[in-house]
Copies of this chain bind each other. A is one copy, B any other.
Amino acid sequence: MNVKTICLAILHEGDATGYEIRKLSTEGEYAYFVEASFGSIYPALARLEEEGLVRSHVQQQAGRPAKKIYSITDAGRAAFRDSLFEDLGDDVYRSAFLLFARFAPELPADLVETRLRERLAKQDDAIRKLKDLQEEHQSPQDRWVISYGISCIQVARDYLAAHMHELIALAQPVAEAEAAE
């Protein structure tokens, strides 16, 4: 799943600028399972245009910078659909949090507790955002994917809430006086 495919997927659903593609892949309904940065989107769009899979036209705007609006071509639509027939790669999951958790016994209990609470707050926030997103999107395939995401984050959150004290208990105890310093 490279950035070119992500761009085609988003353009398949409607025209967009590079800026908008990045927003959708960072905040929109694609945010939690794909992502791409400017540094990869702009070169990807340029290459897609060379290959004839997308087309662009510049739209001047009063005040604001000019937009370069990209549209998918028939060839692009075909290429994207073909790519959906290919074997799916494995999901990627990387978590600095779990590495941190793995080394809890090396760390002071108050730090471990702080990070766990931060994590819990982040997950609550993510769930809230996904629920908002679900209300904005009526298409059943969007709802299906977003529900999947909510289920996963919810169970991770609940596991954390139920088992955080176990991890804190493994960490280095901090004396009251030391903690107050």
Contacts and interface: CB of A to CB of B under 8 A. Distances in A.
A18 B30 CA distance: 35
A158 B112 CA distance: 31
Contact of A96 (B12, B89, B94, B145): B89
B156 A94 contact: no
A141 B115 contact: no
A140 interface: yes
A152 B148 contact: no
* Chain A, interface residues (CB within 8 Å), range: 35 or more
A88 B96 contact: yes
A64 interface: no
Interface stretch (A37-45, A51-59, A163-171, A173-181): A163-171
B96 A1 contact: yes
A33 B98 contact: yes
A92 interface: yes
Contacts of A170: 140-141, 144
A35 interface: yes
9 contacts: A33-B95, A34-B94, A84-B107, A88-B97, A101-B144, A144-B163, A148-B156, A148-B160, A154-B155
